[in-house]
Amino acid sequence: MSKSDSITRHHLIIKKIRKRPLSYSNLLNYLELESELQEYDFIVSQRTFQRDLNDIRKIYKIDIQYDRSKGVYEINEEYNQGTNERMFEAYEIFNILNLSDRLSQNIHFDNRKPDGIEHLHGLLHAIKNKVQIEFTYFKYDTQEFRAPQVQPYALKEHRSRWYLIGYDFMKEEVRIFGLDRLSALKISNKAFTHHEDFNVNSYFQDCFGIIRANAKQAEEVILSFTAHQGQYIKSMPLHQTQKILIDSEKELRIRLKLFITYDLEIELRSFGANMKVIEPKRLVNQIKKSFKQALKQYEEP
């Protein structure tokens, strides 16, 4: 059995047991059904299944244990160290791509493909091995090229675009670079020591999108959506800090705590009349001003 089949089987087992604990026979029935749907053989012996559980524990940091009193396999939440949801989403897309050749008339993919993803492998190598890099970078605002030398720390994805976060020696600070504007990547053999106080998750914890604010503290933002739009906001929260204040037939009101940046303003403007900013007043004025400027551009001369 190929590695891709094993990875897909791991994903199927995790996804099913995350929903509810299952007996071994029920899991086999599920794998048999998926084998028919995907035209692969996911049926395994008890011995292979136990090996799968060990691999899942090592690779995904998810501990699936057998509860003898209930006769089911379930996830040990005390051991669970946190799971990357995007990783499972990627596996789901992987499965769809495997089916797409047989269902080409039934699946339609977005054809937009951001530039720069060809650098992902090289950048990950540099990040993992902590070696400095150099590249040519084009700045949209000045329409100029520069050649920064960077200590690469992490990669971030936002709105289907990828960004590099690293320490820029010329600017003497951590900077964010869009991979679509990056070219002529050179990976050196010069090692560096990672700044211990830098953590990419903490760095973007109070951010919406990719822009970092100059403010020292995040602000409380209260938004009101129409009940219809609110259904989408509940199914896909705007930010990890989202808290529901009011959920009625008339509105969904939420509270966020984050930096107010241009990325956030653009997102809020996209909701149009379906959204109203309650607090802070500064953001209310910014949104109103942005709408007036946008309307002015379309006025008759």
DSSP β-bridge partners for residue 173 = 168
pLDDT (0 to 100) of residue 177: 94
Domain ranges in the chain are 3-100, 117-203, 219-297
Average pLDDT over residues 77-82: 57
Is the pLDDT at 295 greater than 60? The verdict is no
Is the pLDDT at 95 greater than 80? The verdict is no
pLDDT (0 to 100) of residue 209: 85
pLDDT (0 to 100) of residue 41: 80
Average pLDDT over residues 59-75: 88
Q: How many beta carbons lie within 10 A of that of residue 149, not counting itself? A: 16
pLDDT (0 to 100) of residue 3: 63
User: 117-203: which CATH number, 2.30.30, 1.10.287, 3.30.70, 2.60.40?
Assistant: 2.30.30
Classified as helix, coil or strand, 277 is strand
pLDDT (0 to 100) of residue 222: 95
Residue 150 amino acid letter: V
pLDDT (0 to 100) of residue 40: 76
Q: Give residues with Cβ within 8 angstroms of 196, minimum separation 6.
A: none
Mean pLDDT score of the chain, rounded to an integer?
83
* DSSP assigned state of 231: H
Average the pLDDT over each of 30-34, 37-41, 231-235 and give the range with the smallest value: 37-41
Is the pLDDT at 139 greater than 90? The verdict is no
Confidence at 199, pLDDT banded by 50, 70, 90: confident
Residue from 24, 130, 127, 2 nearest 73 by CA: 24
Q: What are phi and psi of 264, to 5 degrees?
A: -65, -45
pLDDT (0 to 100) of residue 233: 94
Q: With respect to CATH, is domain 219-297 assigned 3.30.70?
A: yes
Question: Taking the model in full, what pTM does it have?
Answer: 0.65
Average pLDDT over residues 169-195: 89
Q: Are 63 and 54 in contact (CB under 8 A)?
A: no
pLDDT (0 to 100) of residue 224: 95
40-44, 54-58, 180-184: which is most confident = 180-184
pLDDT (0 to 100) of residue 184: 92
Average the pLDDT over each of 8-17, 67-76, 112-121 and give the range with the smallest value: 112-121
Is the pLDDT at 104 greater than 70? The verdict is no
pLDDT (0 to 100) of residue 212: 78
Residue 45 amino acid letter: S
The CATH code of domain 3-100 reads 1.10.10
Q: Are 150 and 164 in contact (CB under 8 A)?
A: yes
pLDDT (0 to 100) of residue 4: 63
Is the pLDDT at 45 greater than 80? The verdict is yes
Q: Are 134 and 182 in contact (CB under 8 A)?
A: no
* DSSP assigned state of 205: T
